[in-house]
Amino acid sequence: MADRTTMSENKNAMTPCGELLGGLEGASARTLRCGGRLLSLERPVVMGILNVTTNSFYAKSRCQSARKIAKRIEQIIKEGGEILDIGACSTRPGSTPPTPEKEYKDLKKAITIAREVSADLPISIDTYRADVVEKLLDEFGVEIVNDISGGLLDNKMFDVVGKYRVAYVLTHIQGSPDNMQSDPHYENVVEEVAKFFTERVADLKRRGVADIILDPGFGFGKTIDHNYTLLRNLATFSMLELPILVGISRKSMIYKVLETDAEGALAGTQTLDTLALANGASVLRVHDVLPAVQAVKLYERYAHQAFLK
């Protein structure tokens, strides 16, 4: 993957906000500690989504029964997913969140099933609530916390992930799920997201958190234009030398452009995932694991061939 690094370095050299990201020592973008294990990111990995909610924006991704949850986890593993991301609180624009007690109960049920299906599959919990995180870290030792708010919706979150030194997905958001899409505004979206990452990464590292994944937060307080600007400039964030996660699966930035809906956005997702890989993504968070795994394989072949020449 030396060619991908070279491409990222060339893009960073032309990026005006590079100065914002300089001077911070980041953990390696090539590995991620997941509990007592080390997950290699020498090649991009796929994170499969398990929604145990009743109102996720993509209806076909919802699983409530134990049988459906187990079947979904087995599918993710069979199709090549290397991380399981479990969510029990929909964060689609305008959604009403469940109570913390309900979210914790649903996550606990799904994690219990996941550990029975595969003791080795790294589990990421998709929540912005620190109390929920702490309970699940105590009970299950989950490997990753995926916080869509970057610690902004619960000021105890950084304390908790620092206490447990757990891997953390740092996501940029403007606003909160109930208002984030009402009127997103930036003077320069790439620079502002870069500044957010720089400041929040420094705070996390002061607390002893070394394993950090950056997520620009596609659709979290961004217009369609903002989303495509971030995707095009994704390599900018590689200057922090941390893995970059892209979660655009079946989102409106795809289906609105294609004039379809979430169900009709699979091909568009695979297309933009491939562009994300070319721009430096290390983790693809998706509903459809096999197409993402195939995108990784084809991109790797393409990049390797270019390097040989």
Residues 6+ positions from 208 with CB-CB distance below 8 Å: 162, 165
Q: Which helix (H) or strand (E) holds 245?
A: strand 245-246
Between CA 129 and CA 66 the distance in angstroms is 24
Over its C-alpha atoms, the chain yields an Rg (Å, rounded) of 18
Tell me phi and psi for residue 46, to 5 degrees. Answer: -110, 130
- What number of helices (H) and strands (E) belong to the chain? 11, 10
Separation CA 278–CA 218 (nearest Å):
17
Question: Both ends of the chain: CA-CA distance in Å?
Answer: 13
Pairing of strands 31-34, 37-40: antiparallel
Output DSSP code: residue 97.
P
Contact yes or no for 193/172 (Cβ under 8 A): yes
Separation of alpha carbons 294 and 290, rounded Å: 6
Task: Please give the Cα distance from 303 to 293 (Å, whole number).
Answer: 15
Q: Which are the catalytic amino acids?
A: 251, 285
